[in-house]
Structure 1
Amino acid sequence: MVDLSTVSPAIALSPLDGRYRAVAAPLVNHLSEAALNRARLAVEVEWLIHLTDHHVLPGAPRLSESEKAYLRGTVDSFGAAEIAELAEVEAVTRHDVKAVEYLLKRRLDAAGDDPSVSGADGGPTVLPAVHEIVHIFCTSEDINNLAYALTVRSAVKEAWLPAAHGLIADLTAMAREHAGAAMLARTHGQPATPTTLGKELAVLARRLTRQVRRVESAEYLGKFNGATGTYGAHVVAVPEADWQSVSRTFVEGLGLVWNPLTTQIESHDWQAELYCDIARFNRVAHNLTTDVWSYISLGYFRQRLAAQGSTGSSTMPHKVNPIRFENGEANLEISCSLLETLAATLVTSRLQRDLTDSTTQRNIGTALGHSLLAIDNIRRGLAGLDVDAARLEADLDATWEVLGEPVQQAMRAASVAGATGMADPYERLKKLTRGKRVTPEAMRAFISGLGMPDDVEARLLALTPATYTGLAARLVEHLDD
């Protein structure tokens, strides 16, 4: 047998990098190993610029605008060649952050041969001479925590949130379209007080919206305070600097929230909070998949046939399976399991530092990738549904016993208002309806024999399961709140 691990180009092990690559690909720009290294390089570059801009180090040169542009250009142009070069450097250093430091120093040396780069006075660039400012006062976690905060933030804001908003928009549109579509509700799987299809979809849309708002309000924290969070070496080497201010302005300059009190690592609590919120969104979306799957099973939704040649079952040619929702359900479960593991493990680190978070955080992209894939599954599934109005109507018309509830409550209200003959309403309706199919004629005969006030009796006699939906259609308007 061919050893598939040796085949070139390399065969993906993860389905996110294989079968489902097209859907998960946007996350590569944020949460891949290459994206992490690019973010590390960006942090190193911005630290070098920050120190020289703010005259933190006595004797350090002020960089010109062309020198800053050159440095930031090393981040913007970070691509295949740089990824390969960085791998070569790391093969020697055996340390990923140190490899990024050395790569940046190579670029400082190369600046001397670039005619477009000049110093602050218009003369030769000083970049080849500032090697020792690169990574000064940094521990690896100073670089890593900021790099992860930047990449997770960009992944959530640029890839995950747009997808989540897209799902909510699709669901909201369906809820509004079918706001008045009367539907038999089910509690415990049994026929219950009718609702509308739109109202049930609106409930799920609003739940998803609440979780998205939590994700949108997430804080992305960062620290920059040295090997054990004390600025120890900083104070010894440059005692006159206000190191807390230097750290704070640097972190906030990256658009992050400064964490002033840490061990060697930033505590990752913000990550745990974020992943729990995304997992909760997933759980609500999971509820959406199971409900829609159930509606398809009941015949309330029809699935449109896919393009010619598609197969629903390998042996039963009649089948149109709800695979989008089943795949979505499975991917949400995988995503939640990873997100909840991340949230549970990242908040613990032995004493000042252990490396359990290093491997763990490399799975953030996988966790969000399965969520993205699930959202794509669900949106495609929803787009292929049509409501079977005849089936909705038939189910309602076959279940007149659900009117036992409003008749009972009308009897109670009439009794309170002084009407006679309204005793034991629950027990009487229970005798009429429990475990039975009630015909329209039987229900109306029961109502007519109660001796209700004329206006109440007329209202009840006009009632049908299809019109017994209360304020359901109007409740959809709360999606605009």
Structure 2
Amino acid sequence: MTWTSLAAIEPPIALGPLDGRYRGAVAGLVDHLSEPALNRMRLHVEVEWFIHLCEQDAVPGVRALTDDEKALLRAIPADFGADGIAEHAEIEKVTVHDVKAVEYYIKRRIEGTSLEPLSELVHFACTSEDINNLSYALMVKGAVEDVWLPAASSLVGQVADLARAAKAVPMLSRTHGQTATPTTLGKEFAVLAHRLGRQLRRVSSQEYLGKINGATGTFGAHTAAVPGTDWIEVSRTFVEGLGLTWNPLTTQIESHDWQAELYADVARFGRILHNLATDVWTYVSLGYFAQATTKGSIGSSAMPHKINPIRFENAEANLEISAALLDTLGATLVTSRLQRDLTDSSSQRNIGPAFGHSLLAIDNVRRGLGTLSVNEAALAADLDSSWEVLAEPIQSAMRAAAIAGVPGMENPYERLKELTRGHAIDAAAIQAFVGGLELPGETKERLAALTPGGYVGLAETLVDRFLA
């Protein structure tokens, strides 16, 4: 059988799901982490270095630029669109070097203008990594601050809102999957919101480092060409002027330690979110949440009654892929043989997919949470069939009474174990046991009135007090 070649179809069919099926959820990252975004940022760094050299009077023969000349230079990255992408690609076919193609692209733009006599300021004293490290730092910073953090923060806010709304809804806990001390649904989501929020604060405070110091970090070419300039200060002010943290000590490459730090935090956020997804999936299976449907949607191709929690399952898969990529990036980027190797060049081109799968997971969880409604009747029924959980507060009250000298309180744990373990326990059995104790009146009344749904401790207070 002869198959039609899908590879020949125009426009090209995406190989990966992020540029195909899920494009809508991750499109915001294209402006920051795509290959054209990298070349646009390289153009930005190159023209800003050109302007900075003039402003610092760093090279003999330079002059102050006019406002129009600065605008001309800055328009080069600003106007880098489809035609510019194609032109850069044609130049790169000849240079077989992407950064050199950027240099030539800029020189084409200033040819025949008042800037042409200064054209050798483009890429002056730079190695490719001087441009690349700054470009990646700016790209990742923009992607995190403009796209990923707003989406992640909105998700955490959604989880926090659910926690507040359900803070007083009692729920049976399950430790080790077994019936355990009740809590509230809201308190459990407050725990997740608190954990996720802590990681967001770490990501928000991330430093993005950059360097511009030549082929081996010594300013060798700079000082050979112009020994009288304070190149260390020129480097510092340039990097900081881009909004980055200056790294003064590097080999040919900026060491990428900041990237490893950031990716570890983003991956950890994802692992906590994965925990949320698996918990919600379990709550749905227990009937604690009902899922809203949209008209025409299909839950199962074979079983018409089903509404599958697919948003949370999809999130799990994408979080696992994202974490794997982020872990690999963090492990790989902190090592470079001697003064330079190119392992980071290929690795960093996968920053986009790493954040893309994370962003897609965030979108899935947000959409999944939006379909949920709390089934308080199912929660209450579960609690009402689990009166054995009151063994804990009763034996604790007996312990306190024994310490206070009340007679007849011996072996409280063992007595409650005998009453509850392996036996079906209902309200009558618990109340009969409490009724047979010679407890002080107030304590006895309090325990007699206690129900599984009322045994939630300070759960509601914890949500009010500690959920930011």
Structures share fold, TM-score greater than 0.5: yes
Task: Report the counterpart of residue 366 of structure 1 in structure 2.
Answer: 353
Secondary structure, counterpart of 1:373 in structure 2 = helix
Cα distance in 2, alignment partners of residues 139 and 306 from structure 1:
55
Alignment length (residue pairs): 466
Instruction: Specify the code of the residue in structure 1 equivalent to 2:242.
Output: L
User: Are 2:194 and 2:467, in contact at CA under 8 Å, matched by a contact in 1?
Assistant: no
Deviation of 1:417 (Å): 1.0
- Cα deviation, 1:309-365, whole Å, max 9, x if unaligned, reads 211111111100000000011100000000000001000110011001001000000
What is the aligned partner in structure 1 of residue 419 from structure 2?
432
Q: Does 1:23 align with 2:10?
A: no
**Which runs of 5 or more residues in structure 1 are unaligned?**
113-124
For the residue of structure 2 that corresponds to 1:380, the secondary structure is: helix
The aligned counterpart of 1:421 is 408
Per-residue Cα deviation, 1:100-125 (whole angstroms, up to 9, x for no partner): 00000001115x2xxxxxxxxxxxx2
Deviations 1:222-260 (A, max 9, x none): 011000000111112111111110000000000000000
Match of 1:341 among 307, 328, 341: 328
- Partner residue in 1 for 2:51: 49
Contact 2:134 2:210 in 1 (8 A): yes
Structure 2 residues not aligned, in runs of 5+:
none
Identify the match of residue 252 of structure 1 among 240, 244, 256: 240
CA–CA separation in structure 2 for the residues paired with 1:227 and 1:433: 74
Is the Cα–Cα contact under 8 Å of residues 172 and 479 in structure 1 kept in the other structure? no
2:179 corresponds to which of 181, 187, 191: 191
The CA distance in 1 between the partners of 2:229 and 2:340, in whole Å, is 27
Structure 2 matches for 1:247-326, cutoff 5 A? 247-307=235-295, 309-326=296-313
- Which residue among 409, 427, 437 is the counterpart of 2:396? 409
Q: What CA distance in whole angstroms lies between the structure 2 residues aligned with 1:6 and 1:217?
A: 46
Corresponding residue number in structure 1 for 2:220: 232
- State yes or no: 1:454 paired with 2:454: no
TM-score by length of 2: 0.99
**Segment of structure 1 superposing worse, 367-376 or 446-455:** 446-455
Deviates more, 1:141-150 or 1:130-139: 130-139
Q: Deviations over 1:442-480 (max 9, x none)?
A: 001011111111111000001000000001011112344
Match of 2:460 in 1: 473
Matched, 1:203 2:191: yes
> What secondary structure is seen at the aligned counterpart in 1 of 2:62?
coil
Amino acid in structure 1 at the alignment position of 2:141: R
- Using the TM superposition, give the Cα deviation of residue 61 of structure 1 relative to its aligned residue in structure 2, in angstroms: 2.1
Aligned residue type for 1:404: A
Single out whichever of 429-438 and 270-279 deviates more from structure 2: 429-438
1:441 pairs, out of 428, 432, 439, with 428
For residues 78-110 of structure 1, what are the alpha-carbon distances to aligned partners after superposition, in whole Å with 9 as ceiling and x for unaligned?
Answer: 110100000000000000000000000001115
Would you say 1:386 and 2:373 are equivalent positions? yes
For 1:137-148, what aligned pairs fall within 5 Å after superposition? 137-148=125-136
Is 1:332 matched up with 2:319? yes
Q: Report matched runs for 1:32-47 at 5 Å.
A: 32-47=34-49
Name the counterpart of 1:222. Answer: 210
Matched residue SS, 1:377: helix
Q: Mean Cα displacement is larger for which, 52-61 or 30-39?
A: 52-61
Matched residue type, 2:158: D
1:115-140: per-residue Cα shift (whole Å, max 9, x none)?
Answer: xxxxxxxxxx2x11111111011000
* CA distance, structure 1, for counterparts of residue 433 and residue 219 of structure 2: 83
CA offsets per residue over residues 233-289 of structure 1, 9 Å max, x none?
A: 111211111111000000000000000000000000000000000000000000000
- Tell me the C-alpha RMSD between the 2 structures: 0.8
More deviation, 133-142/56-65: 56-65
**What is the one-letter code of the residue matched to 1:43?**
V
3-state SS, counterpart of residue 429 of structure 1: helix
For residue 327 of structure 2, what is the amino acid of its counterpart?
E
Q: Distance in 2 between matches of 1:128 and 1:58?
A: 16
Matches of 2:221 and 2:198 in 1, distance apart?
Answer: 45
Paired residue type of 2:241 = G
